[in-house]
């Protein structure tokens, strides 16, 4: 019956192993990798987006996160009036602006 269940032998009279830094090393390395490849770049993108949104001014041409291309006609605290066609303005949240385009991108408006 020994071939189905292995025997459990008592451990020798050695000292108890102290959980030290070596047992936490894989966890520390994993956290450092997550920080370098996920957290840090995301924080950098968030800072750049916040700076771009704060710098919005009347006349800027921008694209929203929904893909709407237009020209900023009025800037408020939380919202921006966005002209998408002649005489058609849309009110959009500031943080929905995904990208500010170079001047002259919209030639029809």
Strand partners, 70: 62
In this prediction, residue 1 carries a pLDDT of 56
Q: How much is the average pLDDT of 36-50?
A: 94
At 109, the pLDDT band (50, 70, 90 cuts) reads low
Q: How much is the average pLDDT of 3-10?
A: 72
What CA–CA distance (Å, rounded) separates 51 from 30? 31
- Side-chain half-sphere CA neighbours of 108 within 13 A: 8
Question: For the chain, what percent of residues have pLDDT higher than 70?
Answer: 86
At 13, the pLDDT band (50, 70, 90 cuts) reads low
Indicate the CATH number for domain 57-109: 2.30.30.100
Write down the domain spans for the chain.
Answer: 23-55, 57-109
Q: How much is the average pLDDT of 55-84?
A: 94
Which letter does DSSP use for residue 94 in this model?
G
């Amino acid at each position: 019956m020994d071939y189905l269940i292995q025997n459990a032998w008592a451990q020798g009279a050695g000292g108890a192993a102290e959980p030290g830094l070596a047992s936490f090393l894989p966890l520390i390395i994993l956290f450092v990798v997550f920080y370098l490849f996920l957290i840090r770049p995301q924080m950098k993108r968030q800072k750049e987006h916040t700076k771009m949104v704060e710098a919005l001014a009347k006349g800027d041409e921008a694209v929203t996160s929904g893909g709407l291309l237009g020209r900023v006609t009025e800037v408020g605290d939380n919202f921006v009036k966005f002209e998408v066609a002649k005489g058609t303005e849309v009110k959009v949240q500031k943080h929905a602006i995904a990208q500010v385009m170079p001047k002259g991108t919209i030639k029809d408006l």
